[in-house]
Amino acid sequence: MYRINILLVIAFLFGVYTKISAENYPHRSDVLWVTTPDHSNWLYKTNEKAKISVAVYHYGILQDTLTVNYSIAPDMMEADKSGSVKIKNGVASINMGTLKYPGFMDLNLKITLNGKEYKHHIKIGFDPEKLIAYTKMPSDFDSFWEDAKEEAAACTMKVERTFVPEYSSDKIDCYLVKIQAYEKGRYVYGYLTIPKKEGKFPVVFSPPGAGIKPMNPLKDIFYAESGFIRFDMEIHGIRPDLERKDYNEISSAFGNKHNSYLVNGLDNRDNYYMKKVYLSCVRVLDYLTTLPEWDGKNLIAQGGSQGGALALITAGLDSRITACAANHPALSDMARYKIGKAGGYPHLFTKFDGMDTPEKLKTLQYFDVVNFARKIRVPVFMTWGYNDNVCPPTTSYIVYNTLNTKKESLVTPVNEHWISLTTRHYILDWIRTQLK
């Protein structure tokens, strides 16, 4: 059963991994949109018609003569219907129609007020619990990854650990860790935070969201303050304490558009950049399980967006993981655009050129989250929002529906590509319930 919890929180947007053109309830906006589906949970049956009521507040004052322009599209696809309605007596009503197949529809709204344009959108679902993955499992998936792990394990693990006083306190110690992984001379970094008290503690492994950017372990320092060892991982072999301007230069070199690391080597499964990343996650587990402070039982993978994908992938790749928590995972059913329907971040078939080749499609099968989700046998918690245009609800549902293990979801329809601080603590509370 899906547990629906609509968090109507107007708050700072936590967990944003990719720039988004517009957000619901933008911070300090003069305009507030209130869009209400005629089904309170935002969900419909296929072939069932949906209606949305629209109200607009300016400086908190309900507007009453505005024209609202709208367009309607299947999730992440081009609009196939458009029109306009007038707000009368404080409300307008828009008939969205229906879907004949499981999925989501996106209603995009636009007004002009005092010469300035304001936008908003809302997505609603049609039988999303029936969504299934497009991506197929290669027959040699298991042998490919077992061979890859064996090859990577031959690389000697070298570790450098440096105390970081600015992120430490009377409650926790923080270290910057450098680990040799995958092959000689290739390193990854991470911030390790450990409770400053006697005892043995569960370990939370947290891979990063997409991009090439600085890291700040203070964002999730409440894990260590709550009695967990936490490792916030960097995947590119770049020190996470560099200045942002340095990261911007590095990112422009191999982190954007058609030179993105996410397409680097995609023609061949052995040369694809993400192979090194996935195997480096395993190497980090090698290190974390040697820590004398580890309780020897609990090893949890947790992350959001690309980090959510890597958490699920690591759980499917390594049996040492005992539980997994992921919010709006990226890299999920990426090739689904091939059938004209929403696929997962990084949206290779709509944002990049030259991706639709047999070689690239074959490689993706070995790296897509859905195939690792099929392998997971430990408890999984997932949370996602409907209004997300980075990691769309279509692919989050597909991953969740694919899982064949004990699972729990927190669905927050209003959310775009963010989760609230309350939800971040909810995730930690769920992790506590999984400890052995």
Annotated active-site positions, please?
A: 305, 388, 417
Nearest to 387 by CA among 33, 81, 28, 30: 33
- Residue 383 CA to residue 408 CA, distance in Å, equals 9
| Cα dihedral 186→323→262→418 (10° resolution) | -130
Q: Give the angle subtended at the CA of 335 by the CAs of 376 and 280, to the nearest 5°.
A: 50
Nearest to 235 by CA among 151, 316, 305: 305
**Residues 235, 278 contacting (CB under 8 angstroms):** no
- Residue 251 CA to residue 260 CA, distance in Å, equals 8
Task: Examine residue 346 and say whether the peptide bond preceding it is cis (omega within 30 degrees of 0).
Answer: yes
E strand or H helix at 149: helix 141-153
Assigned token pair, 333: 């059913």
> Strand 201-206 relative to strand 294-304: parallel, antiparallel, unpaired?
parallel
Sequence-separated (6 or more) residues with CB below 8 Å from residue 83: 69, 70, 94
- Backbone φ, ψ for residue 69 (5° rounding): -90, 140
Residue with tokens 């059963």: 1
- For 346, counting Cβ atoms within 10 Å of its Cβ (0-12 exposed, 13-18 middle, 19+ buried), the class is buried
Among left, alpha and beta (phi > 0; psi -120 to 50; other), residue 60 is left
What is the dihedral sign for C-alpha 399, 400, 401, 403? positive
**Residues 336, 370 contacting (CB under 8 angstroms):** no
- Residue 213 CA to residue 211 CA, distance in Å, equals 6
- Residue 67 CA to residue 155 CA, distance in Å, equals 64
- Residue 435 CA to residue 202 CA, distance in Å, equals 8
Angle between helix axes 141-153 and 273-288 (nearest 10 degrees) is 60
Strand, helix or coil for residue 104: strand
Q: Which amino acid is at 204?
A: V
